[in-house]
Amino acid sequence: MNVIWLADISDKMGSPVHWWLGAAILSLPLVWVAARVTSKVGSLVTLCLAGGLMMLLVFAAMQEAFAEGDLSIAVQQEMGRKWIAHRIASGCLPLVLVGTILALRRKRERG
């Protein structure tokens, strides 16, 4: 019975590509705003929104991997450490993308 349950877990979980692509798609509106914002306050607000989105995505990944009791243990056993690492790291993508765009804009404006 346990083996069947574990096999069912891998069928329902997304692949690392799924999570990276999903995080990139969720980041697109914030990246667009970051590319267009001109004030420092607007940049700070955009960065804070990206940080909030990152926290939500990482929290969801951590909960799924570590805080759901038997399901979390089954996820760790079935999917492995690399899958969990990709799931958590992909949640950081919004902040990385927005931060990169804002840094590039600032560098271009300075010279």
**Residues in CB range of 30: below 8 A, 6 or more apart:** 46, 49, 50, 53, 94, 97, 98
Helices (H), the chain: 2-12, 16-36, 40-66, 70-90, 93-110
User: Could you tell me the pTM of the whole model?
Assistant: 0.83
- The pLDDT tens digits of the residues spanning 1-14 come to 444 444 566 666 77
- The pLDDT tens digits of the residues spanning 25-39 come to 999 999 999 999 989
CB-based contact 91:57 (threshold 8 Å): yes
Q: Which residue reads 């990139």 in tokens?
A: 24
- The pLDDT tens digits of the residues spanning 39-95 come to 999 999 999 999 999 999 999 988 888 887 777 777 777 777 888 899 899 999 999
Q: What is the pLDDT of residue 9?
A: 63
Distance CA 88, CA 62 (A): 7
Where in the chain are the domains? Answer: 2-110
